Structure 1
Amino acid sequence: MRFTPHLTVACIVEDNGRFLIVEEHRDGRLVLNQPAGHLESGETLLQAAVRETREETAWSIELVSVTGLYLFTAANGTSYQRTCFFARPLKYDADQPLDDGIVRARWMTLEEINQERHKLRSHLVLDCILDYLNKPHYSLDLIR
C-alpha cells in the first residue's frame, strides 16, 4: 500500500503576546487548535492557510513567514504533513460564519494555553507555538 500523508496547514496568529486559538468539536470532545486544515485541490499552501484561518476564525490575516514543517501520525494511524505559518491579524468580520464544528475563536496567552494543554487537539499545537517563539522563521519564498 502506498504511503499518502494528508497535507495540512496551520497558522500561528499572534498579537501582543496572545495567540488566536480555535475551539472545536473533535471525536466527541472540545479541543483547542490553531486555525488549521487541509490543502484543497488547485490552491497553494499559502492560499490554504489564509482560507482556513478565515473560515475557522473570521479573521483576515497577512502571512509573514514559515515557522516549521511537521510530520505527525494520529492515533488512528493517519499521517499528516503540516506546514505552519506565522501571520498577523488584519481584520475581524463578525458576520462571517465559522466552519462546522468550530465553537469559537479565542485569543489566549501562552500561559493560558499551557493551563489548558489537556484540551489540545495534539501536541503540535504547543510545539508550533514554541517553535514560533524560539526557532528561526523562514521566508514565504521557501514555498514554491
Structure 2
Amino acid sequence: MSASSSSSVWCPHVTVACVVADGDRYLMVEEEVGGRLAYNQPAGHLDDHESLLTAAARETLEETGWTVELQHLIGVHQWRSTEHGDGVVRFSFAARPVGHDPARPLDTGIRRALWLTREEIAALGDRLRSPLVLLSIDAWLAGQRLPLATVTSLLDGDRYP
C-alpha cells in the first residue's frame, strides 16, 4: 500500500464496554450525549498504546467509581453510530464488581452510575445510547462467554491486573 492510499483507509471507532452484573441488576451510567440524557454500560474508546482489557477496566472505573475484575469476552459487535455516523467496533466484556469508591469523581458528562434490571434497561427504549447495550446483556444472559485469553495484547508493559 502506498503512502497516498493509506490516507483513505477506513478507521472505525474502537470501543470497549463492560456488562457488570450483581444478581439481576446491571451497572449502568446516565450520561449527557449531544444535549440529551442517555444510558449505557460503562464504555469508552480504546486509547493508543492501551490493551482492550486495560481499557475496559479503566473506563468502568472512570465512569462509575467501580473497580471490576474482567471475567470473559462476551463478543465483538460492529455498528454504525446514529450519533456521529461513524463505524464502531465494540468489544463487550463481562466483569464482576470488586470495590466501589463513592468519592471518586466521574468522567465529564457522566451524571451518575446506577444499577438496573434488564427489564428496567429495556424500558428505557430510545434513551439507550445504542442497541449494543441490550445486545451485550442478552448475549451474556444467553451464556455467550469467551475466555479473556482470546484477546491478546503485545504492547510493552501493558498488563491487565
Cross-structure match for 2:157: none
- In the other structure, the counterpart of 1:48 is 55
What is the aligned partner in structure 1 of residue 26 from structure 2? 19
Using the size of structure 1 for normalisation, the TM-score is: 0.97
The equivalent residue for 2:89 is: 81
CA offset at residue 135 of structure 1?
4.0
Aligned to 1:113: 121
Segment drifting more, 133-142 vs 31-40: 133-142
Alignment pair present for 1:134 and 2:142: yes
C-alpha distance in 1 between matches for 2:24 and 2:62: 23
Aligned counterpart for 1:124 among listed residues 132, 139, 157: 132
> Match of 2:146, SS?
coil
- Partner Cα distance (2:90, 2:29) in 1: 17
Q: What is aligned with 1:96?
A: 104
Deviation larger for 132-141 or 97-106:
132-141
Question: Per-residue deviation at 1:114?
Answer: 1.4
SS in 1 for 2:54: helix
Measured after TM superposition, the shift of residue 117 of structure 1 is 2.0
Q: Is there any run of 5+ residues in structure 1 with no aligned partner, and where?
A: none
CA distance in 2, matches of 1:18, 1:30: 20
Please list the CA deviations of residues 57-97 of structure 1 after superposition, one character each: whole Å capped at 9, or x if unmatched. 00000000000101111123201110000000010101110
TM-score (norm 2): 0.87
What code does the residue aligned with 2:145 have? H
Given the alignment of the two structures, is residue 143 of structure 1 paired with residue 151 of structure 2, yes or no?
yes
* Stretch moving more, 66-75 or 47-56: 66-75
In structure 1, what residue type is equivalent to 2:33?
Answer: R
Aligned-partner Cα distance in 2 for 1:58–1:13: 13
Return the index of the structure with the highest Cα Rg. Answer: 2
**For 1:99 and 1:40, how far apart are their aligned partners in 2?**
15
Moved over 3 A (4+): none
In the alignment, structure 2 segments of 5+ residues that lack a partner are: 1-7, 153-161
- Give the residue type in structure 2 aligned to 1:137: R
The total of aligned residue pairs comes to: 144
Partners of 2:17 and 2:106 lie apart in 1 by 16
